[in-house]
Amino acid sequence: MKVLKKILNGTFRGLDNSLFYWNFALMSAVAVLVIATVFLRYLFNVTFTWTEELIIFLFIATTYFGSILGVREDEHVKISIFKEKLPPKIKIIFEILISCIIISVVVASAILSRDWIVRAGRPLSPGIKIPYFSIYIIVPIAFALIAIYECREIVLKVNDFKKKNNKF
């Protein structure tokens, strides 16, 4: 059991680092492209349509991959006024229920997005000339990773629940 726990912790640590550096690279690319585009447009009166399209696609990617990091850090949008007033044991159960709902929504969205990607992913983008599929695939990937992180949260919350029950 301890070996499995070490393997999972190492896997998640690697995934966490990979996501962080991936998002950092995406945001850096957005910043560099925006600065270069503005510089070229206003100083040399040169515009490239592909750079604007690439900036939009990179921004979309940072949004989805950033949402994974938000879930990992438990920083996603939520209303916690009601939850904070609950007793600790009920609060943990409530948090587990919320995580289950989140998993249901993102898994359903990932599965349903498959048909959308198949139908709408074939045309090429006008600027970069890549299939829209390569952009749309970010949605199910991000949702699958969000589901994985929420499953991890459920395991941690169940362990926390067991610890609190053993104390009383």
Give the chain's domain count: 1
Q: What is the pTM of this model?
A: 0.86
Amino acid (one-letter) located at 128 = I
Instruction: Name which residue leads in pLDDT, 93 or 27.
Output: 27
Host domain of residue 157? 2-167
Q: What angle do CA 153, 144, 151 make, to 5 degrees?
A: 20
Helices marked H in 45-137: 49-72, 81-84, 88-120, 133-136
54-78 confidence digits (pLDDT tens): 999 999 999 999 999 999 888 877 7
74-126 confidence digits (pLDDT tens): 887 776 777 778 888 888 888 889 899 999 999 999 999 988 898 888 899 99
Q: What's the whole-number mean pLDDT along residues 9-23?
A: 93
- pLDDT for residue 167: 60
pLDDT higher than threshold 60 for residue 168 = no
Under 8 Å between Cβ of 152 and 146: no
Q: List, in order, residues 6 or more apart from 88 with CB less than 8 Å away.
A: 164
